[in-house]
Structure 1
Amino acid sequence: MTSPSAVEIPRPADWQQFERLSRAVFSEVFGARFTRFGRSGQRQNGIDIIGRLDYGKVIAVQCKGRSTSVGKSLTRDQIDATIIKAETYSGHVDEFYIVTTAAVDVTLQKYVLTLSEARRTAGKFRVSLWGWQSLEDEIRNCPRVLQAFYGEWWRKPSLKFSLCIILATTVIGAAGYIGSQRVDQWFVQRDVNRGKTVDGLQQVVSTLDELQGAYSKCVSSMGGKAFVFSGQLTENCTKPIDVPLSRLAQRRNQMAGIMNTDAYAEVVAADNYLNEDFRQLLVAVSMAQHLERDAVGYGKSACPNPKYRVTRSEAEARAFRKSGEDALAYQMAQYYRMRDFALPAISALKARLAIASRLQNGQGATDDLVSKAKSLPTLLQQERTFTYKLPGSPFATARVKESTTRTFTASGLSNDPVDELVWYQTARTAMFEGLRGNDGDVEYLISCGLLKPAARILEADEEPKPAS
């Protein structure tokens, strides 16, 4: 009996058979029912097959090609045109596969992979390209597909056929031995690649564990404070998050070209999402630094010595307060993004990677994993539409943010004395934070009588001590 792993699997003779074969392969590979999209003569939006996985992901497939295009190589222009056509489909699609009976060169595969990453970043469906070699690999792993479409490999050979096989084996025994060695090598390489994908996914999940811990530490450090200054944000948030985030980027680069395409796309999605969230955290740090610099300048208006005192108008005082409220609003929004979206999203990303890893091992996903994975689109949508509205008495309210919701809208008096006091303390501390390592301004404020000589400790960028 001839083994399907030892011979080349014949390509379909026409596009109808190719479409039926593709539908069967995708149903087996993804463990879901894929159906023909529309019927001949109907407008199909460039989609031949469509299926919905158990956890909600929708996968669409275009079988290249119809009539005389079966087996012909694809070009970039054809890939682009196929994607544009698929985008006219009014329903939701998460992944779009283009499958062809032709061989696909490395250059075209790299083009599709780069294009898919760019689309993912833009919030559009991902794209994958399977040539005949990829389909062969999947068919060999699908016994039911083999039996249904290539049943001759399971039939009992006739006596004449057996004698021919024996004779052929005797004549070309050496060649057969070499061929079997190559087949064995192919299986070994396939298993190695599968193992690398699983190992890579496990490393990424481990890195996400570190990121989850860093985010939790950041969120916890912001609790109970009316305002978190740049040094505290840097020490408790950006530095701890930056280390595993950089490691995640390294994992992504190391796995490119080695990891399974679908699994790699999940890694790319996690990396892109977390980098964007980190960028917003850096903006919060920058706005805190801006407030601290403003506070130093505004502190000069409180100099006891008129010779040094800088006059500030009421309009400038209001502008300074507005700068503080803007920084607080962005900081509060980022706090809620991390607490209510980023931390749950990391759990969902880990679940998606765990599912990808189990699929590589031929295992099914648990209900718990599926539930967590399915929560990601909702979380991302909620985060995209989230806007933070600064409540009345913003600085007083910010001290209890850990026990409030992101939609908390407390109202307060226009001149709430508690809020004014908290703002005064915030502005005063912001001045000391802005003086760290700033020799010139420290000496100026000592000379003007606002600070005592002991404040020179700030010149060494040490923890500030309030002046008496």
Structure 2
Amino acid sequence: MTLPPNEYSRPSNWQDFERLSIALLSAAYETRMRRWGSAGQRKNGVDAWAKAADGRVIALRIEGRTERYGQALAPADIDVALAEAASFPHPVDEFIVLSAGPDDAGVQAHTAALTARRKTAGQSSVVVWGWPTICTHIGQQPKVRNVFYGHEVQSSPKRKLALLAAAFLIVAGGAGSLFLGKNAIDASKATPPNAAANVGNIAANLEELTGTYRQCQALLDKNVFTFTHELAETCRDPAASQLAALSKKVDRQKSGFDAQVQAELARLLAIFHEDVREAVALTSVAHAFDTAVVQSMKDGCAPGAANQRNSPAVKQAGAAAVTAQLRYYYLLKDFVIPEMAVATEILQLHASGAPSPEKMKAAAGRMEQLLTERTAYAPRETRWPFTASSAKHETTRDAAPGAEQQSDTREEALWRGVLAQSSTQSLRGRSKDIDALIACGALKEDARALAQPGS
């Protein structure tokens, strides 16, 4: 049994966080992460590292050893981390920064841009795992979960109720109406100059972000399975970039809002950051499947080795990824996109300069209902996840595939279709893996085209 994402207790100190991080990454990469330097003392900007079975070098930087433990990172922190890690003596393929603080859309956008530039220059990728992302990975590693959180999993029903209640109060901003009570309506009658124009400007950015989520839903809708590069290009990266821009705009213009609007924007941004975190976690699960596929192809390079792409481990990774995509599809369709529409409506009401109390109350009620239902949403378990994904545009989130579709034969056929696609799709953007597979004869020279973005 696993806890829902972000429901694992954060370690109370950096030392325990370091131990958890090293254990988690060791399990995720199926290798032993080794401390670089003495315990608790960073060397060359790196806390731990390992060489994976496929030859990739992974370096970890575990933030928060000072009084900043648990605080959010900023883009400048990533720049400092990379500058310090430049002296690390081994050529790094993946540089992972772990933080006990929250995920941040601005940091995600910054690292995505850095990775694009660094890959072009033959340098490592850069990834940041905030605590919510780390929780998602904990849920995927049973051994780590049982060692560090076995007691919490056993007591999860009671704990879940407490956490959901706390989360609801945080998002809601306290008891009463979710966003707009009488005080908010009264305050809107005395707003600073240009407040309506500023709020309207924010609403326009929100519509752009909504458009990205619609494109992401359309992508998931047309595919039984969506691979990492598509999720990154259509869902994760644009959403992170647009939310970072929106957050900066809110920060720059906050002096032009009254206190109540500032509070509402802060609550809305908290929801939007969770939406982006979901996209980051979704892409991470797909990446784990791609990595499993590529590793199975490399395993087949050994003399006399059989093709392992249809191994139980690869299929399990594929099932986990498609299940996550199915969940995210309904999350977008039933919650995220409707929430964005209500948030836009709330801001547009403020931008009108004289919002109707009745309309304000109705919008607040719709948002409250959406968030309540979203908090309670738990995907239906199924033994046919690929079948369920193929029929998602015809069903609701709580419905199972029709009886005529529920068969192991259909499920296997859909899985084999995904597996066939993975021979190219899982390789996109992975130049070193492609080089290794060409060298062993598993791929032809023209496969190098897969390493290019948009190929």
Q: Report the alpha carbon displacement of residue 462 of structure 1 after superposing the two structures with TM.
A: 5.3
Q: Report the alpha carbon displacement of residue 251 of structure 1 after superposing the two structures with TM.
A: 2.4
Match of 2:330 among 321, 331, 336: 336
Q: Is 1:402 aligned with 2:393?
A: yes
Pair 1:260–1:440, CA change in 2 (3 A): closer
Q: Is 1:350 aligned with 2:344?
A: yes
Cα distance in 1 between the residues matched to 2:195 and 2:242? 20
Report the equivalent of 1:267: 265
Are the counterparts in 2 of residues 351 and 373 from structure 1 also a CA contact under 8 Å? no
Q: Report the alpha carbon displacement of residue 346 of structure 1 after superposing the two structures with TM.
A: 1.1
Report the equivalent of 1:429: 421
Match of 2:383 among 392, 395, 401: 392
Q: Report the alpha carbon displacement of residue 209 of structure 1 after superposing the two structures with TM.
A: 1.3
Pair 1:209–1:366, CA change in 2 (3 A): farther
Cα distance in 2 between the residues matched to 1:424 and 1:413? 16
Match of 2:408 among 416, 426, 433: 416
Report the equivalent of 1:307: 303
Report the equivalent of 2:215: 217
Are the counterparts in 1 of residues 205 and 246 from structure 2 also a CA contact under 8 Å? yes
Q: Report the alpha carbon displacement of residue 219 of structure 1 after superposing the two structures with TM.
A: 0.7
Pair 1:195–1:403, CA change in 2 (3 A): farther
Q: Report the alpha carbon displacement of residue 229 of structure 1 after superposing the two structures with TM.
A: 0.9
Report the equivalent of 1:245: 243
Pair 1:445–1:352, CA change in 2 (3 A): same
Cα distance in 1 between the residues matched to 2:413 and 2:438? 25
Report the equivalent of 1:454: 446
| Matched length | 280
Are the counterparts in 1 of residues 210 and 337 from structure 2 also a CA contact under 8 Å? yes
Are the counterparts in 2 of residues 224 and 400 from structure 1 also a CA contact under 8 Å? no
- Corresponding letter in the other structure for 1:296: V
- Corresponding letter in the other structure for 2:340: I
Report the equivalent of 1:63: none
Q: Report the alpha carbon displacement of residue 427 of structure 1 after superposing the two structures with TM.
A: 2.6
Cα distance in 2 between the residues matched to 1:390 and 1:310? 32
Are the counterparts in 1 of residues 209 and 242 from structure 2 also a CA contact under 8 Å? yes
Instruction: Write out per-residue CA displacement over residues 129-149 of structure 1, whole angstroms, 9 at most, x where no aligned residue.
Output: xxxxxx9xx89x99xxxxxxx
Match of 1:288 among 286, 289, 295: 286
Q: Report the alpha carbon displacement of residue 255 of structure 1 after superposing the two structures with TM.
A: 3.1
Q: Report the alpha carbon displacement of residue 287 of structure 1 after superposing the two structures with TM.
A: 0.8
Match of 1:208 among 193, 206, 209: 206
Q: Report the alpha carbon displacement of residue 362 of structure 1 after superposing the two structures with TM.
A: 4.0
TM-score normalised over the length of structure 2: 0.54
Instruction: Write out per-residue CA displacement over residues 63-90 of structure 1, whole angstroms, 9 at most, x where no aligned residue.
Output: xxxxxxxxxxxxxxxxxxxxxxxxxxxx
Are the counterparts in 1 of residues 209 and 239 from structure 2 also a CA contact under 8 Å? yes
Are the counterparts in 2 of residues 296 and 432 from structure 1 also a CA contact under 8 Å? no
Match of 1:371 among 357, 362, 366: 362
Report the equivalent of 1:321: 315
Q: Report the alpha carbon displacement of residue 444 of structure 1 after superposing the two structures with TM.
A: 3.8
Residue range with higher mean Cα deviation, 193-202 or 258-267: 193-202
Cα distance in 2 between the residues matched to 1:263 and 1:405? 35
Match of 2:174 among 106, 125, 128: 125
Are the counterparts in 1 of residues 386 and 415 from structure 2 also a CA contact under 8 Å? yes
Q: Report the alpha carbon displacement of residue 234 of structure 1 after superposing the two structures with TM.
A: 1.5
Cα distance in 2 between the residues matched to 1:233 and 1:323? 16
Cα distance in 2 between the residues matched to 1:386 and 1:273? 16
Cα distance in 2 between the residues matched to 1:280 and 1:208? 18
Match of 1:441 among 413, 433, 451: 433
DSSP-derived class of the 2:443 partner: coil
Cα distance in 2 between the residues matched to 1:334 and 1:126? 29
DSSP-derived class of the 1:391 partner: coil
Instruction: Write out per-residue CA displacement over residues 75-134 of structure 1, whole angstroms, 9 at most, x where no aligned residue.
Output: xxxxxxxxxxxxxxxxxxxxxxxxxxxxxxxxxxxxxxxxxxx9974544189xxxxxxx
Cα distance in 2 between the residues matched to 1:344 and 1:275? 16
| Bigger-Rg structure (1/2) | 1
Residue range with higher mean Cα deviation, 393-402 or 320-329: 393-402
TM-score normalised over the length of structure 1: 0.53
Q: Report the alpha carbon displacement of residue 441 of structure 1 after superposing the two structures with TM.
A: 3.1
Report the equivalent of 2:252: 254
Cα distance in 2 between the residues matched to 1:247 and 1:255? 12
Sequence identity of aligned pairs in percent?
21
Q: Report the alpha carbon displacement of residue 412 of structure 1 after superposing the two structures with TM.
A: 8.3
DSSP-derived class of the 1:223 partner: helix
Pair 1:244–1:120, CA change in 2 (3 A): farther
DSSP-derived class of the 1:283 partner: helix
- Corresponding letter in the other structure for 1:391: T
Write out aligned runs for 1:158-173 (5 A). Answer: none
Pair 1:321–1:254, CA change in 2 (3 A): same
- Corresponding letter in the other structure for 2:303: K
Report the equivalent of 2:296: 298
Q: Report the alpha carbon displacement of residue 225 of structure 1 after superposing the two structures with TM.
A: 0.8
Structure 1: give runs of 5+ residues left out of the alignment. 1-117, 128-134, 143-189, 464-468
Cα distance in 1 between the residues matched to 2:347 and 2:169? 16
Are the counterparts in 2 of residues 348 and 374 from structure 1 also a CA contact under 8 Å? no
- Corresponding letter in the other structure for 2:205: T
Q: Is 1:226 aligned with 2:224?
A: yes
RMSD: 3.4
DSSP-derived class of the 2:382 partner: coil
Cα distance in 2 between the residues matched to 1:299 and 1:246? 38
DSSP-derived class of the 1:435 partner: coil
Cα distance in 1 between the residues matched to 2:207 and 2:454? 32
Report the equivalent of 1:196: 194
